[in-house]
A = this chain, B = another copy of it.
Amino acid sequence: MAQEIPYKIYLEEKEMPRAWYNLRADMKQKPAPLLNPATGEPMDAAGLGKVFCDALVAQELDNTTRLIDIPQEILDFYKMYRPSPLVRAYCLEKKLQTPAKIYYKFEGNNTSGSHKLNSAIAQAYYAKAQGLRGVTTETGAGQWGTALSMACAYLGLDCKVFMVKCSYEQKPYRREVMRTYGASVTPSPSDTTEVGRKILAEHPGTTGSLGCAISEAVECAVTNEGYRYVLGSVLNQVMLHQSIIGLEAKAAMDRYGVKPDIVIGCAGGGSNLGGLIAPFMGEKLRGEADYRIVAVEPASCPSFTRGKFAYDYCDTGRVCPLAKMYTLGSNFIPSPSHAGGLRYHGMSPVLSQLYHDGYMEAVSVHQTDVFAAAEEFARVEGILPAPESSHAIRVAMDEAIRCRETGEEKTILFGLTGTGYFDMVAYQKFHEGQMSDYIPSDEEIAASLEKLPKVR
């Protein structure tokens, strides 16, 4: 097609996807089921229904329905901040002097600052539809908590957020954004839950962890009438909701007859990566097209590249179902010097299965390289990226530089998941040369993996 490609491609409202795409329907080898941590048996709808609301349980367990209609109220909410732009990175291409064509799908143009809102509104909607009073969740850096607060404010649903204590203290702005949206924000571990009190007794002065905040949020949900727990990543349902990212990206590229050679996304729990790659991976699974699909993770939390594909606990308090995934062990906590997010010890079971079956690649990158890419990107493309997103930027730039060397005109698509406005402390460390690269030793990872649960 000779048509000139604009800097930004926005789908029209009427072109927006009206159904999510369930990648599992096209997977020959389905992701392993969640297991009951007490019995080791697969979780059924009744068991999951104590923690999650019913419609989401159905989505969690549905491995066969390819397209799931997006309810009208969610579509209406999506229209407030979607479609997100697919950006042709002309300025970055010029800066890198590469023949590669670089595109990114930018999910940061909403107040939560990331793609998390795509699943937050879906989960809040189904909770509301079930007549619940509210939802509970955990948040680390705060993107997910912010997104959920926004969704709940919109629907008039109560929202209780357990925020990892060190983030609560170091990111007061994030906390206030959530409060602006009417959420209650509790630093975790707290004395409001049994598991929190237990952790505080065992580790006085702890600054908390994501795994610990998850345990508190789950306890809070199951012990409060009319509440359920919601989670921003890892789960199958989240991959489903986030498919909106990839569906829009593909529709925008199709409009101009463009096909990516490489699709790149950062991976913590997998919510962005799973969403971005969904329709491309679908074509690959069905044998209709081939794409290189690359997951990028921090070298300081390398679950794909150095973890084990096994059943593991999802939380510190071990109250959640077990998931089969690439994991570093539920006790693994990245070094405090790590500032780039993507800190979760495990990975989406869907993505884990696909990686295990050879459908995608994974690479890990050092954080100083990530921040260098972030700064270079910010200066030419204007957008200040989140550290998480900058993992994908780093690898996209590396691929484009390789094209400069080989002369190949590859088309690269990456996910720019969000903005870094609340991460300026990390940027400051980088500017002042005080950021270090930490790589866990083999012994450290092995020690953490020793504590995997025993599953038949």
Contact = CB atoms under 8 A, between A and B. Distances in A.
Contacts of A383: 110-111
A379 B421 contact: no
A375 interface: yes
Contacts of A91: 80, 154
Contacts of A79: 6-8
Interface residues of A, number: 44
A117 to B, nearest CB: 8
Copies of this chain, whole number:
2
A172 B428 contact: yes
A76 B6 CA distance: 10
Contact of A8 (B13, B150, B181, B375): B13
Nearest to A378: B180
Q: Give the interface SS of chain A, mostly helix, strand, loop or mixed.
A: helix
A382 B154 contact: yes
A42 interface: no
A179 interface: yes
A419 interface: yes
Contact of A378 (B76, B181, B422): B181
A80 B421 contact: no
Given A79-B8, A80-B91, A422-B421, A111 B172 contact: no
Contact of A109 (B90, B109, B379, B384): B109
Interface string A164-197: 0000000011001101111000000000000000
30 contacts: A6-B12, A6-B13, A7-B13, A7-B76, A8-B13, A8-B79, A8-B80, A10-B10, A80-B91, A80-B381, A81-B382, A91-B154, A109-B109, A111-B378, A111-B384, A113-B421, A150-B379, A153-B379, A154-B379, A154-B380, A172-B424, A172-B428, A173-B421, A173-B422, A176-B428, A180-B384, A181-B378, A182-B379, A421-B421, A421-B422
Top 10 closest A-B pairs, CB basis?
Answer: A173-B424, A7-B79, A6-B13, A153-B379, A176-B424, A111-B384, A421-B421, A176-B428, A109-B109, A10-B10
Interface of A: 6-8, 10, 12-13, 76, 79-81, 87, 90-91, 109-111, 113, 150, 153-154, 172-173, 176-177, 179-182, 375, 378-384, 419, 421-422, 424-425, 427-428, 431
